[in-house]
Amino acid sequence: MKRVVIDVNSAIPYYVRGWASGIGNTTISLVSALDKIDNLPFEILLYSQNTKGVSAKRMGTRFPCRHLYYPYREKWNHALSKTPIRELLTGYDLYHIPHNFDWVHCADRTLITLHDALCFSYPEAELDHTFARKHYPKLAKKCRGIITCSESSKREIIQYMDIPEKKIDVCYWGIDNTLFHPADTKDQPLYNQPYFLAVSCSRGRKNTPMLLRAYEKFARQNPSHYLVVVGAKTISSNTLLQTNLSISKRVVFLNDVSEQTLVNLYQHATATFFPSRHEGFGLPVLESMACGTPVVTCPNSSLPEVGGDAALYIDPDDMDGMASLMEHFENGDYDRSTLQERCLSQSAKFSPEHCAQQTIDIYEKYL
């Protein structure tokens, strides 16, 4: 039986600090969904790498694991790729990197999940895209196949990296409904006052400063709703709020929240605002909808693919429009049961089981 090795290093931080990046979470979701499928037509082995010995065994699957006690850093991985150590350790027929890029010894036996081409399509001044722009296309051209998470990302990979369309398969991320689901009556909210939620925030394409200005305008009416901003490491609350100190006590900045805390925040928010200028997928949109919470996002890139007809759309530069939507939610102008029904129906289209089955088909295609 042939062997597929899945590199799960993007998921390891979850087992160290209790949370992982969006890509790390998609890796966890994929492996967990694959673990629930019996009689796979190939063997799956999980590969992890770090000097602390935090291995893929922490994921608790039936899959065998191999761990390499070696630093997991770019320069060390580059050196490692000069030798067939991973090949000898794991004996793979197909090596799957689900986190955009890594240095590999045998690119022609490698499948990569390239989540987006943002380093080309929407470069941000605060981020150094030099490495990605130089090395991602090289691996993309040499590898056996590419998985990406939206039709929008597929088009951009073709356009900016000059990759043949037939080499790219679209596989939408799935959402774990045992974790992301509407609140039960026994669930207690973290905040007693009503609030809007913003997740995965930054100064750049996530467009949080615009959202804060919209909330500032909305807050002049002394509303009941607060604004909770999650993942604002790159944002200085003092800088963003210095123009209007009157709202500084109405905006809550949170970082490094646990998965359960994030779910709680989604479940009890009146609405999630995600006015991103560009996304490869837009996981917060899906997470919020799975919790039955309405989403306000933008009609660009992959976001309409995820939001469908359940999301409310606004131009990313329409500050007045965002403030107006907040006012509508404040005044109860929307039928929340209808919005929740649409959200749950749309999010149900993105199941981990479907993602896993598509991934199995792609593995078989390249084995």
Q: Is residue 182 part of a domain?
A: no
- Tell me: do 15 and 101 sit in the same domain: yes
- Tell me: do 289 and 166 sit in the same domain: no
Q: Is residue 54 part of a domain?
A: yes
- Tell me: do 309 and 169 sit in the same domain: no
Q: What's residue 39's pLDDT?
A: 95
Q: What is the pLDDT of residues 265-297, one digit of tens each?
A: 999 999 999 999 999 999 999 999 999 999 999
Helix or strand (DSSP H, E) at 362: helix 352-366
pTM of the model: 0.91
- The token duo for 343 is 């959200």
How many other β-carbons are positioned within 10 Å of the β-carbon of residue 109?
17
Q: Give the Cα-Cα-Cα angle 108, 3, 170 (nearest 5 degrees).
A: 60
- Tell me: do 147 and 72 sit in the same domain: yes
Q: What is the pLDDT of residues 124-150, one digit of tens each?
A: 776 778 999 999 999 999 999 999 999
**Which region, left, alpha or beta, applies to residue 254 given φ > 0 means left and ψ of -120 to 50 means alpha?**
beta
**How confident is residue 28, by pLDDT bands cut at 50, 70 and 90?**
very high
- Tell me: do 60 and 143 sit in the same domain: yes
Q: What's residue 241's pLDDT?
A: 53
Q: What's residue 18's pLDDT?
A: 83
| pLDDT of 245 strictly over 80 | no
Domain containing 202 — which CATH number? 3.40.50.2000
Q: Is residue 183 part of a domain?
A: no
Q: What's residue 249's pLDDT?
A: 80
Q: What's residue 236's pLDDT?
A: 54
Cβ proximity of 22 and 283 under 8 Å: yes
Q: What's residue 235's pLDDT?
A: 58
Helix or strand (DSSP H, E) at 226: strand 226-230
Q: Which residues of 287-296 are buried (b: 16+ CB within 10 A; e: fewer)?
A: bbbbbbbbbb
Cβ proximity of 155 and 134 under 8 Å: no
Q: Is residue 185 part of a domain?
A: no
- Tell me: do 144 and 205 sit in the same domain: no
Comparing 88-97, 184-193, 304-313, 343-352, which segment has the lowest mean pLDDT? 184-193
**How confident is residue 237, by pLDDT bands cut at 50, 70 and 90?**
low
Q: Is residue 188 part of a domain?
A: no
Q: What's residue 242's pLDDT?
A: 52
| SS3 of the chain: helix, strand, coil, percent, to 5 | 40, 15, 45
Q: What's residue 2's pLDDT?
A: 97
The residue length of the chain stands at 367
Cβ proximity of 11 and 30 under 8 Å: no
- Tell me: do 126 and 207 sit in the same domain: no
Q: In terms of residue numbers, what domain contains 291? A: 195-347
Place of tokens 């646990």: 258
Q: Is residue 287 part of a domain?
A: yes
- Tell me: do 254 and 238 sit in the same domain: yes
Q: Name, in order, each residue with C-beta under 8 angstroms of 111's C-beta and a sequence gap of 6 or more.
A: 94, 95, 96, 97, 143, 144, 145, 146, 147, 362, 363, 366
Q: Name, in order, each residue with C-beta under 8 angstroms of 62's C-beta and a sequence gap of 6 or more.
A: 35
SS3 of 48, please?
strand
* Spatial separation of the C-alpha atoms in residues 220 and 246, rounded to whole Å: 9
SS3 of 355, please?
helix
* Spatial separation of the C-alpha atoms in residues 288 and 365, rounded to whole Å: 33
Q: Is residue 304 part of a domain?
A: yes
- Tell me: do 211 and 252 sit in the same domain: yes
Q: What is the pLDDT of residues 347-366, one digit of tens each?
A: 999 999 999 999 999 999 99
Domain count along the chain: 2
* Spatial separation of the C-alpha atoms in residues 47 and 6, rounded to whole Å: 6
How many other β-carbons are positioned within 10 Å of the β-carbon of residue 220?
11
**How confident is residue 244, by pLDDT bands cut at 50, 70 and 90?**
low
Q: What is the pLDDT of residues 176-227, one digit of tens each?
A: 899 999 998 777 888 889 999 999 877 688 998 899 999 999 999 899 999 9
Q: Is residue 181 part of a domain?
A: no
Rounded to 10°, the helix 336-347/283-290 angle is 120
* Spatial separation of the C-alpha atoms in residues 152 and 34, rounded to whole Å: 25
Average pLDDT of the chain to the nearest whole number:
93
Q: Name, in order, each residue with C-beta under 8 angstroms of 138's C-beta and a sequence gap of 6 or more.
A: none
- Tell me: do 163 and 215 sit in the same domain: no
| Mean pLDDT computed over 42-57 | 97
Cβ proximity of 145 and 169 under 8 Å: yes
- Tell me: do 315 and 355 sit in the same domain: no
**How confident is residue 233, by pLDDT bands cut at 50, 70 and 90?**
low
Q: Partners of 5 in the beta sheet?
A: 45, 95
% the chain with pLDDT above 70: 95
**How confident is residue 234, by pLDDT bands cut at 50, 70 and 90?**
low
Q: What is the pLDDT of residues 78-87, one digit of tens each?
A: 999 999 999 9
- Tell me: do 13 and 58 sit in the same domain: yes
Q: What's residue 203's pLDDT?
A: 65
* Spatial separation of the C-alpha atoms in residues 96 and 367, rounded to whole Å: 11
